Amino acid sequence: MDTRISICGCALCIAMITPAAWAGHPLVTDDTGTQGQGHFQLEVNGQYNNNKEDGKTITGGQAAAALSYGLTDTIDVVVGTPYLWTEDANGLSDMSVDVKFRIFENDGLSFAVKPGLSLPTGDQGNGLGTGKVGGHLYLIGTKETGPWCFSVNLGYIRNETDMDADSVEKNIWHISASGAYALNDHWKLVADIVTERNTDRNADNDPVEAIAGVIYSPTKDIDLDLGIKRGITSSAPDWSLMAGTTFRF
């Protein structure tokens, strides 16, 4: 396989299966919650990846920021900017613009849809972007009961790119599910399982990852989080360390 395709596929796979979906970090699975009309949320997070391939240790990761704004009590606009680094390149990746619509809510059960665009702000030549505008659509379901909260995401990502169509998969499906348990008003335990279609059409398997983490909220408007992500299949990084901070105002 061409080296440029290999690097790009790896970087974009990392970008799509990390919290660029802008869920409650360290979760990848989004929930149906919105900010409320006129309210903002700023989320800043980072991730360090460690992976062994053919006896060699490969490291990399990403830092990301997302700003959400509540257009109404049930509609959010979210703009996200990730910064990727691999052993071969580093820099801004493709920005995303999403709109989340909560379309149903009753007795702790809610559903939302989240369409969005990926903008080609990353350097395609260094494997940091696709070079084209892409689109995605997520269907989100959340059930809250007592201290528990469960969410499921089903998604489709159109991976538009100028690269070799025989090697890069353009139609990416996404499936993820999360659970969260509130110990009290300040501490929450979270877990997640995530899989997506591999961006490398010739890959032997699709990336599957499991996440376990904790969220500490010193106030209702600040969250501090820490998580560990473990790759279950060989196409996912062996493990990742995740940390982030969220501010609501």
- Tens-digit pLDDT profile for residues 195-236: 999 999 989 999 999 999 999 999 999 999 999 999 999 999
* CATH fold label, 3-248: Porin (2.40.160)
As a whole number, the mean pLDDT across the chain is 90
pLDDT digits (tens, 9 = 90+) for 111-152: 999 999 999 999 888 878 888 999 999 999 999 999 999 999
Considering the entire predicted model, what is its pTM? 0.89
CB 249 within 8 Å of CB 48: no
Domain boundaries, the chain: 3-248
